[in-house]
């Protein structure tokens, strides 16, 4: 096993070195503009899982998108769902797997205290200051679960969806949510899946809470999300990073 992992590390180093020598960013698997350890992690994960979408830059053909006439294309369903009206999975911000309990004690990026954040922190008074304000792809639930060029939308991309589209509260196959219609007439459905806190589900069938990939700058325990109910939709608010929210993916 040790020899196997040594081989993978050597392979990763070879691929990334080749990209540098070619003066391209072909080895930049997390698309952050640099060749770094996260690229190696993605490379190894891809070989271990057989998910070649990590490498070829193409979207997962099993997950469909809709072109709404915006800067990115939006997936037709939530991550973890099999149909547009299904709730799908819930994720804490910066985590890539659903879990049974969404508490501070189970949150990946802190030591049981928001004064001890271990990643995505811009103030050393609150933990390790890495100045990261957008999720790396290795911590992006959409990208890790779907591969290819899928990722979570940024705060600005949610704002574009909110400001340039028509949002209508409706019911699809018995599930309440918002029909979002783009300037070109195409639309997606966002189910009112609620959110998870602790081991319970709240606001189901009344509201939807969807993560962005963007850290909230004014409160280090929060990240930007989009929230909607039957009355309104807002994307300039934030939510506690430990909560379990829905994830809707985007691609170029």
Range of the domain at 238: 65-251
Question: What's the CA dihedral at 226, 100, 149, 159 to 10 degrees?
Answer: 0
Tens-binned pLDDT, residue by residue, of the chain (252 aa) = 545 445 444 455 444 444 333 333 345 554 444 566 666 655 565 544 444 444 433 444 457 999 999 999 999 999 999 999 999 999 999 999 999 999 999 999 999 888 899 999 999 999 999 999 999 999 999 999 999 999 999 999 999 999 999 999 999 999 999 999 999 999 999 999 999 999 999 999 999 999 999 999 888 899 999 999 999 999 998 999 999 999 999 999
Do 222 and 124 share a structural domain? yes
Same domain as 116, residue 45: no
| Residues 19 and 128 occupy one common structural domain | no
Number of domain units in the chain? 2
Kindly state the DSSP code that residue 137 receives in the 8-state scheme. G
Do 21 and 93 lie in one domain? The reply is no
For the chain, the 3-state helix, strand and coil shares in percent, each to the nearest 5, are 25, 30, 45
Residue 49 sits in the same domain as residue 72: no
Claim to verify: residue 35 and residue 111 sit in the same structural domain: no
DSSP-derived secondary structure for 50-77: T-THHHH-PPPTTS-EE--SSSSEEEEE
Statement to judge: residues 124 and 178 lie in one domain: yes
Q: Are residues 80 and 40 in the same domain?
A: no
Within this chain, do residues 69 and 38 fall inside the same structural domain, yes or no?
A: no
Residues 50 and 131 in one domain: no
| Same domain for 237 and 167 | yes
């Amino acid at each position: 096993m040790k020899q196997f992992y040594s081989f993978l590390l050597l392979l990763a180093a070879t691929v990334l070195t080749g990209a540098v020598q070619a003066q391209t960013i072909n080895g930049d698997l997390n698309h952050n503009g640099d060749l770094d350890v996260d690229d190696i992690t993605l490379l190894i994960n891809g070989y271990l899982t057989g998910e070649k979408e990590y490498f070829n830059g193409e979207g997962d053909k099993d997950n469909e998108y809709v072109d709404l006439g915006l800067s990115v294309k939006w997936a037709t369903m939530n991550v973890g769902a099999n149909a547009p009206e299904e709730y799908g999975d819930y994720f804490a911000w910066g985590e890539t797997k659903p879990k049974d309990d969404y508490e501070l004690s189970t949150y990946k990026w802190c030591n049981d205290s928001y004064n001890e954040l271990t990643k995505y922190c811009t103030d050393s008074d609150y933990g390790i200051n890495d100045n990261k304000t957008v999720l790396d792809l290795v911590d992006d639930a959409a990208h890790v679960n779907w591969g290819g060029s899928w990722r979570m939308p940024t705060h600005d991309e949610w704002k574009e969806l909110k400001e340039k589209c028509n949002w209508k509260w409706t019911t699809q196959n018995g599930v309440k949510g918002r029909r979002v219609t783009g300037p070109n007439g195409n639309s997606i459905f966002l189910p009112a899946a609620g959110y998870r806190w602790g081991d319970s589900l709240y606001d189901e069938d009344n509201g939807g809470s969807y993560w962005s990939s963007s850290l909230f700058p004014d409160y280090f325990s929060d990240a930007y999300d989009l929230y909607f109910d039957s009355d309104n939709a807002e994307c300039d608010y934030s939510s506690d990073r430990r909560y379990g929210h829905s994830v809707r993916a985007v691609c170029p």
